[in-house]
Amino acid sequence: MDKNNYCVIMAGGVGSRFWPLSKNNKPKQFLDILGTGKTLIQLTYERFASICPTENFFVVTNANYKSLVLQQLPNINENQVLLEPIRRNTAPCIAYANYKIQKRNPNASIIVTPADHLILNETKFLGVLSEGIQFVQDGKKLLTLGITPSRPETGYGYIQVSNKAVENYSDVYPVKTFTEKPHLELAKVFQESGEFFWNSGIFVWKLSTIQDAFDKFLPDIKYLFETILDKLDTREEQNFIDQIYPKCENISIDYGILEKSESVFVYCSEFGWSDLGTWGSLYEHTAKDNNLNAIQGENVMLYESKNCLVNVPNNKLVVVQGLKDYIVVETDNSLLICRRRDEQEIRKIVNDVKITKGKKFV
């Protein structure tokens, strides 16, 4: 195992599209969404543990989730949990981790990953990462993993690649364009063209390369963190992070750096990836009965129902009759019954619940 390999796990989101299972006090990355006996963040940590030493992990999360991280990842220590006082998207999150790593190893190679993605073919995925780490050692290269689209998905960002692969790397291509979530007709064009890949949000780069990119494209964010370099790894660190974070621009690493840099490449592959962003994406990757119902719950009885996702507590008897293409999710104090095709409305529903019924339900 290479001591220069570091892994940054981004775990600060609230997962509102997985409401009511995912709530502010325990969002989806800390839940056993897949019914495997392990939470998504635990699966993420284990996925990278074979290529990154335990002490080389950093988890960036909201300050409210510190205890959850330490409870679910007992192998890491408090100093490896970086606490954001407020959410500022992925660029400040990555900048914070960069400086923590810089104090330990200026020669680091870094993998950045969300905490809540699904990887079905982990052997192939680790092979892609190993080759990706090798690729970024040579020159100033920023690498993102692109997924061959299996359908015209409107919920993902897309990356268009050049028509010629990089020499000696048959699956790595220079980036031509980034496109945020397209409408359906455009998504169909993207899939049919063969030039567009889903943006997985998993990145690989050298520390020196990403630091240079911050210096060029997001100098204000870099400057803020440089002002507290002598405070990192001291008792004063959190206090100063709390002071500078609200001053950071709320911007993603994609928009802030990757879409502007001419040194971005995509490793194009397919390893059973899903961002598990919605109930629909979970439905796709869950075992189904003869009527294509995906069921989580030990006491669920379905009659004349097809293509439904049902997720309920094991101790609750739930009887569903006559539903087709529905999502049914129950927790301790909430019940959601929603048409699958309308799942993008869940974020709006959560906001309405917060306004009209109070924060206790979200």
pLDDT at 139 over 80: no
User: 268, 161 in Cβ contact below 8 A?
Assistant: yes
Query: How far are the Cα atoms of 38, 147, 151 from residue 194, in angstroms, in the given order?
Result: 36, 11, 12
**CA 240 – CA 159 distance, rounded (Å):** 36
CB atoms within 10 A of CB 49: 14
The predicted-structure confidence for 30-84, as pLDDT tens digits, reads as follows 999 888 899 999 999 999 999 999 999 999 999 999 999 999 999 999 999 999 9
Show the tokens assigned to 42. Answer: 């635990």
Same domain, 25 and 165: yes
User: Phi/psi of residue 173, each to 5°?
Assistant: -130, 150
Last residue of a domain, one of 229, 247, 274: 274
Same domain, 91 and 228: yes
pLDDT at 138 over 90: no
Same domain, 44 and 186: yes
Show the tokens assigned to 56. Answer: 């080389």
Ramachandran area for residue 325 (φ above 0: left; ψ -120 to 50: alpha; else beta):
left
User: 319, 337 in Cβ contact below 8 A?
Assistant: no
Same domain, 57 and 72: yes
Same domain, 184 and 199: yes
User: Phi/psi of residue 280, each to 5°?
Assistant: -65, -40
Same domain, 259 and 119: yes
DSSP helix/strand/coil, 290: coil
What pLDDT sits at residue 221?
97
Cα 355 → chain centroid: 27
Same domain, 257 and 293: no
**CA 208 – CA 211 distance, rounded (Å):** 5
User: 145, 200 in Cβ contact below 8 A?
Assistant: yes
The predicted-structure confidence for 5-20, as pLDDT tens digits, reads as follows 999 999 998 888 899 9
Last residue of a domain, one of 274, 295, 310: 274
Residue of 219, 204, 15, 233 lying closest to 126 (CA atoms): 204
pLDDT at 163 over 90: no
Last residue of a domain, one of 274, 302, 325: 274
Same domain, 71 and 213: yes
In one-letter notation, the amino acid at residue 360 is K
Same domain, 109 and 243: yes
Q: What is the mean pLDDT of the chain?
A: 94
**CA 266 – CA 95 distance, rounded (Å):** 21
Same domain, 336 and 216: no
Show the tokens assigned to 150. Answer: 């299996």
Give me the mean pLDDT over the 234-260 stretch.
Answer: 96
Cα 28 → chain centroid: 11
CB atoms within 10 A of CB 90: 22
Same domain, 198 and 259: yes
**CA 81 – CA 104 distance, rounded (Å):** 15
pLDDT category at 151 given cuts 50, 70, 90 is: confident
pLDDT at 109 over 80: yes
DSSP helix/strand/coil, 71: helix
The predicted-structure confidence for 257-312, as pLDDT tens digits, reads as follows 999 999 999 999 999 998 888 898 899 888 999 999 999 999 999 999 999 999 99
Same domain, 77 and 118: yes
DSSP helix/strand/coil, 279: helix
| Domain extent at residue 297 | 279-361
Show the tokens assigned to 331. Answer: 């927790």
**CA 165 – CA 172 distance, rounded (Å):** 6
Question: What pairing do the DSSP bridges indicate for beta strands 309-311 and 326-330?
Answer: parallel
CB atoms within 10 A of CB 291: 12
What pLDDT sits at residue 226?
95
Domain count, the chain: 2
CATH number at residue 84: 3.90.550.10
